[in-house]
Every structure is written in C-alpha cells, then in structure tokens.
Amino acid sequence: MPYFLAVRSAQALFALFGVATLVFMIQHLSGDPVVLMVPEGATAEDIVILRREFGFDRPLGVQYLDYLRDLLRGDFGTSYIQNIPVADIVGSRLSYTLRLSAAALAIAFLVGMPIGIFAALNRGRLVEKPALALVLAAQSMPTFWSGILLILLFAVTLDWLPSSGAEGGSAIILPAICLSGLTMATFARITRNAIVEELGKDYVRAAYARGQKRLSIVLRHVSRNAAVPLISITALELANMLAGAVIVETVFAWPGLGLLAVQAIQANDFLVVQTIVLLGAAAYIVLNLTADILYGLVDPRIKAVGR
Amino acid sequence: MGRILAALVTATLFCATPLLAKDALMIDNVQEPSTLDPHLQWNPDSYTVYRNIYDNLVTRDATGAIAPQVAVSWEAASETEVDFTIRDDISFHDGTPLTPEDVVFSVKRITDPEFKSPQLGQFSSIIDAAVTGPSTVRLTTNGPYPVLLAQLVKLSIVSKAYTERMGNEALNLNPMGSGPYKFVEWRKGVKVVLARNENYWRGTPPFATVEFAAVPDAATRIADLKTGKADLIVGLNPDDALQLDGSSGVEVRSAPTERVGYFMMNTQAGPLTDQRVRQAVSQAIDRQLIIDALLGGFSQVTNQLLTPAHFGYVEGLEWHGYDPDKARALLAEAGHANGVEIEIITAPPFDQRIIQAIQQQLSDVGITLTISMSDMSTFLGRRRADPDGFGDTVFGRWSCACQDADGVLYAMFHSGSVWSKYANPELDKYLEAGRSTLDDAERMAAYTEAHRIIYEDVPSIPLYQAAAIYGANASLNWSPTANESISIMDMAWTD
C-alpha cells in the first residue's frame, strides 16, 4: 500500500506539472495579453509601454521559469486587471463553490441512489418507467434551460425562492437542484446497473437460500459491492463541480469559481483563469487519487493488485 | 391541497407587484466591477459603480455638453496649457477637503507608466500637472490637445493622503472619494453596497443605499426585475426587451450611445484596394433591414462614423444608398463580373448575426464573404497587423468613450495608426488639423472635409448608432444617457 500510494502520488505531481506547463503555453501562444487590455484605438507606443511594465517583453523561457518558481512558492501572482493577489480573488469564491457542490452532491445521492435501487428492484415492471423517465429528463435537460425554468416557476411565478444571488439560506436551493440533475441521473443509472448485475451473482442466491429478505440482502450485501463504480463516478462528478459549474453559476449569479472563470475570461484576467484551471486540474487529480485509495478499502481485491 | 395552492397563488400575486418607494435601489449589472480603483478600468461594470463614489474633474450635462464638476471653470493659458479653478467646498468621505493637490495627484497617478493603467493612452497627452494657486491647477499637454476636456470627463479625483497612506490595493478594495455615495462593502462576486453621502455638495442623494449585483445571464436579470429583486437592469438585447413588454410595473428604457457599428475595409491589399469594389460592398448592404430585423429597431442608421453624441458630427450627411443593381454594375466595371471573394476577420464578442446578414446581402450581388472566426487575442493580432496580414474586412462597434471625432477617425484612418488599413495624405492632413487646434470652428471644418473623403473613398462603411437597452422599475425616474453612465444623483422614485 505505501508503494502504491507513492507511485500514484508521483504520477499526480507529474500530471499537475504538465497541466501548469500547458496552461502557461496556451496563454502565451494565443498572443499578447496587453493588446486585450488596452482600449480600442490605443497607439503602438502605449502598448509597448504597458508590455514592458508587465514584463511581457522578456524571453518566454525566463517568464516560464519565473512562473514555475512562483507556483512552487504558492504565489499565483497579482491580477493585471484587479491589482490584487490572485490567491485572494480565487480564495474568496472557493467557499461558494464548495457549498454548492456539497449541496448538489447531497441531493444527487439522496435522490439518485433510491431511484436506482427502486428501478433495479422493479426491473422491467411498469412502475420503473416513471423513475427512468425522470432520470432521462434530468440527464438530457441542458442546465441553462432547466435553470431558467426553475427561476420562472419558483421565483417569478410562485415567489418562493430568490431568483439569483447568494444571499440568505434559501438562495442555494435552486442552483443546487439545477446542478444536481445530471449527477443524480448518473448515480441512478450506475446504481441500477450495478445492483442488477450483483443480483444475478451466486452470493445473492446463497443469501436467498439462507432465508434472508430481499431488502436486507440488497442493503447489507449487494449495495456494498455495487458501491465500487459509484466511488469513481462520485470522484469525477465532484471534480467536475469543483472545477466550476460555469453554466449553473452564471444562470443563478452564484458567485463561485465557475462564474469567476467566466468573468475573468471576459475581463482578460489571465492569471485568474490560469489559477482556476490549475485548481480544477488539481481537484481532478486529488479526487481520482482518493478514489483509488477508497477502492482498496471497499474492495480488498483491488488493493492486492496495487501491491 | 387546492385551497392551499389558491392561497399561495393569491399571496404570490400580491408579492409580485413592485414595492412602493423604498430606501434602497438595487441595480443588476452584468459582471461585478473588475476593480473599484477609478484609475485602472473604464469598463461599464466598473465605472457605473465607482463614478457614484467619486467626483470627476468635469462632467457632461443632460444635453451631453461638457459641464463643471470638481472644476468650476477652466481657461486656456496657451495652446498647451489649461488652468482649472477647483471648487473649495468639496470634502472627501473621510471629512478632509478636496484640494488642488488631490487633482494633481490624480492626474499624475493615471499618467504614470509604472502604475500600468490601461487608460494611460487616454491621458498620455498630459505631460505635466501643477498646483498654481490656492484653488488653481494647470495641466500641460504635449501639443495643442482639443480632446483634453472630453478625456477629463473620465478622470475621477482620489484623495492623495488616503491613497498614499492606504496603498493602491486598499484603494481598490476600500475606495474613498467625494461623490454622492460612500463605499460600504464589496462582497466579491455578489454585490457592491454603497450608502448615501449626507454631506454631498450637490445636494442629498436620492436613496439611502444602493446595491450593484453581478448577474451575467440576461434572463436572470429579467427575472430579478420582475420579482422586484432589482429596480434597474443593464445590458439587454432587443429580444430580451420583448420579454419585458406587457409585464406590469417594469419597462424598457433605451438610449442611443456613442458606439458606432462599422464595416471597415482593407484599402491597402486585396480586391478592396479598388474604390469601386468598396462602394459596391457599401451599396449591397441594406443597413435599415439589419437594424429592423436584428436590432429590434432600437439602433439608428448613421451616415458617418460618428454619432450626434460626438464632437465632429456633421448634420445632414448622405451615404451611398442601398442599391444592389448599382453594386453589381460597379463590380463588373472593376472586372469582377463573375464574383469576388473577400474575407472578414472576427471573434466571438462581435454580433455574428450581423456578420451573417451582411454575408447574405453581399452574396446577392456576387461577393463571397468568408468568415474567419478566431479567439479575441488572435483576432486583435490580425486586426492590428500590416495590411497583408489583416484580411479584407472587419465589423465592429467603435467606442472611444470620449465622444470626440479624434478618438474615432484618427485611430481608424490615420496612416500612422495600427488600427488603420488606409493611407491618404489628404485625410491625414485633416485628421492632424482636427487634433492640433483648440478652435472648435477650425476643427469642425477639418472633420467636415474628413467625412467627405471617407464618403468618396469608402475605406469604411458606417452602419448604425448602437443603442443601450435597460429594464427599469416603472416608478424609477431616470433616463439613460449616451455615455452609458448610471448616475444615481439623477434618479428618483416617482410617487
């Protein structure tokens, strides 16, 4: 296990380094950041002055090494546009994204798993159909549309919940429901398929033979085995949410990382965009690593392979 | 269950009607301010907020004319020197008086290259600022600079003592000015809260508090307006405006701005070096149809590359009318009877529907317009490139935020500008004349000639004067202005 952890951690670090390099290169390949900052009609001299002041006239290699050194120190730089440290800007939005992701994930679990179990236990019966229809709808409705529908119904027509923003405890409800849709559908499908598969296995038949009730078999034995694919899906879905739910946050004006990313791209605030991309990549890598470790805890067979 | 539902619906109907005169004004901007440091960013999301915190050296009145604000009066001491008399009854929010030293400090701060302001180019003609008396300031320019006052409309006056004591970062996060509203709080990504400055020198500001929220999605801003969460929303397009029609208690407000929609052509490389082809392009485009069909009739056709909001706008000018037959004849005459291919460079921020409409209209006369879409950075690289690397045409909405012909025509057409793909010594002469005298009549004469050359030579086609569209609570008394500022001092609830 320690060896397995060390190898996976080294791989994770290497991946992060690759992402950092890629982000830097893409940003510099796409041209001169100063040109995007100046107003229409700026003269060539104005542009040269600003480029020198920002240090964009130095050789690319020097800029790259500086950038890596600052990253290692945990220094993400100072935003060209806002003139304050990028870490402060991104940090101020992190808690909103964490809260929204946690709420959405909770909804996805609490709704998706029971639907999946229900559908698996009633496979092929008429009662399964509405459950599958709900899953299909949650999966296929684009969030920019379902978000507006939620706002029109619950904010404009019924006036139960605020239409946008992050003020008061109730503001999180609509964006969380909207964001949870796809993940909920994924959980439901994965749960259903995993349980259906497990139900056909010998140990289930053995449990029936021992006279156990079906529900107790599902909850005590089957669900544990069916959980393995769910772990990796959860890690991916959570990483997706942490990287910024761009559309949901934009529609609901929820001030998380996704909205910040959009704002930063529109304002050409490169360092902020770069930091969000790095953070998103780090979330993916760390959560995948966590999932790998959890597999080992849930299913000893996987740990054996790792050793 | 049915009874509960009925009760809810009834309650909803009552809640949904906008509340009567309240003490807080809620405004939905598109994004949050990039910064509240008034010397750094000039984008609408930022200045709509900070211009209510600060006073500016001069301002524009309801008619658009330049009017006193911090400066009571001004007088040219020579061709390159202007003396400003500063009001002595203005106090910053911390109680200290606003002095000529603060004005000089503000000018020097924004013109210091080390400060790295993207607005530097708008003020770089000012080479010196000095206190010349207890209430006078002299600004020196690097030559006669007629646009000085128009640029100074954008100069907010910050406190020298506060800025030096707190530093640039603190000024951004805790702005402190002398304007009608005091800064209270900036909840990052959520809103900026301002409170009334009870001691404001121009009178008591209308609302106790004002909040600017960042709501990027137009449909959500409209929902905010309808639910009464917002009293004023910005950045609507004509389709959004339709959604507000017929809703009670809210209405659409729009105003023509100083943004000019234009279709510029490369006169120095490719098929458009021929004036006849350029004129054919112009006569193939039905500008009124584009405005009616795509811009909801909110914008207006303009026959010059300026709007009535600009200095240098000449009343009653003509432009080559829509005439596809004439366009085909001109193309045949130029040797393109079998059609001609041209390219347009563009990027996502530009309204692609207009480009596609132009593409369709050009194809009707035999011109094939190839759309080259790239990211903004690549686009700007080509936009500023030599004529050979530019492509043939570009569509845009030009804004110099100065409402002066110099900010548009010089940058667009002078042979020395990186944005220009046109070189005409005669036009250069008039553009230079227009920026090197303080005499308004001489300047108007120069720009009248410049318009004539542009009309005859067609290096660019003026399309329309763009409109800014807002949604407002019907009981909010306010009319939008050409410079897209949101001056809370000019608002009130109607009773």
Separation of alpha carbons B40 and A138, rounded Å? 44
Separation of alpha carbons B351 and B356, rounded Å? 9
Backbone Cα Rg of chain A: 24
Cα torsion angle, A242, A246, A247, A249, sign: positive
**Ramachandran quadrant class, B52 (left: phi over 0; alpha: psi -120 to 50; beta: rest):** alpha
What is the number of CB-based contacts under 8 A between chain A and chain B?
166
Interface test with A, best of B116, B125, B211, B305 (most A CBs within 10 A): B116
B435 φ/ψ angles, rounded to the nearest 5 degrees: -105, 0
B4 pLDDT band, cuts 50/70/90, is very low
Tens digit of pLDDT for each residue in B337-389? 999 999 999 998 899 999 999 999 999 999 999 999 988 778 888 888 889 98
Name the residue among A170, A217, A177, A173 with its Cα closest to residue A195. A217
Q: What's the whole-number mean pLDDT along residues A111-121? A: 89
> B358 near B395, Cβ under 8 Å?
yes
> B54 near B178, Cβ under 8 Å?
yes
Q: Can you give the pLDDT at residue B246?
A: 80
B447 pLDDT band, cuts 50/70/90, is very high
Measured between CA atoms, the residue of chain A closest to residue B191 is: A165
Tens digit of pLDDT for each residue in A125-152? 888 888 888 888 888 888 888 888 999 8
Separation of alpha carbons A84 and B354, rounded Å? 38
Separation of alpha carbons A282 and A259, rounded Å? 19
How many of the other CB atoms lie within 10 Å of CB of A216? Answer: 10
Share of residues in chain A with pLDDT > 70 (%)? 94
DSSP codes of every residue in A278-302:
HHHHHHHHHHHHHHHHHHHHH-HHH
Residue among B41, B121, B217 whose CB faces A46 most closely: B121
Whether pTM > 0.80 for this model: the answer is yes
Q: How far is A168 from chain B (nearest CA, A)?
A: 12
Q: Can you give the pLDDT at residue B101?
A: 96
Interface test with B, best of A143, A156, A254 (most B CBs within 10 A): A156
Asked if pLDDT for residue B109 goes beyond 50, the answer is yes
Strand partners, B186: B192
A301 pLDDT band, cuts 50/70/90, is low
Q: What's the whole-number mean pLDDT along residues B311-339? A: 95
As a residue count, chain A comes to 307
**Residue appearing with tokens 């929204």:** A100
Top-confidence residue, B13 or A190? A190
Name the residue among A100, A186, A101, A104 with its Cα closest to residue A138. A186
Q: Which residues contact B391 (CB under 8 A, 6 or more apart)?
A: B266, B343, B344, B345, B372, B382
Tens digit of pLDDT for each residue in B26-73? 999 998 888 899 998 778 888 999 999 999 999 998 888 899 999 999
**In Å, how far are B130, B138, B156, B446 from B141, measured between CA atoms?**
12, 10, 19, 21
The token duo for B432 is 């230079």
Amino acid at A34: V
Separation of alpha carbons B44 and B487, rounded Å? 12
Q: Can you give the pLDDT at residue B9?
A: 44
B340 φ/ψ angles, rounded to the nearest 5 degrees: -145, 145
Q: Which residues of A touch B400 (CB under 8 A)?
A: 39-41
Top-confidence residue, B80 or A269? B80
Interchain CB distance below 8 Å, B213 and A165: yes
H helices of chain A, in order, are 2-29, 33-37, 44-54, 60-72, 86-121, 128-140, 143-150, 173-199, 202-209, 214-217, 223-242, 246-252, 257-266, 270-298, 300-306
Amino acid at B71: A
A1 pLDDT band, cuts 50/70/90, is low
Q: Which long-range contacts (CB under 8 A, 24 or more apart) does A61-70 make?
A: A63/A28, A64/A21, A64/A24, A67/A20, A67/A24, A68/A20
Q: What is the DSSP letter of B403?
A: -
Q: What's the whole-number mean pLDDT along residues A12-31? A: 82
Q: Can you give the pLDDT at residue A30?
A: 64
Interchain CB distance below 8 Å, A39 and B121: yes
Cα torsion angle, B176, B181, B184, B188, sign: negative
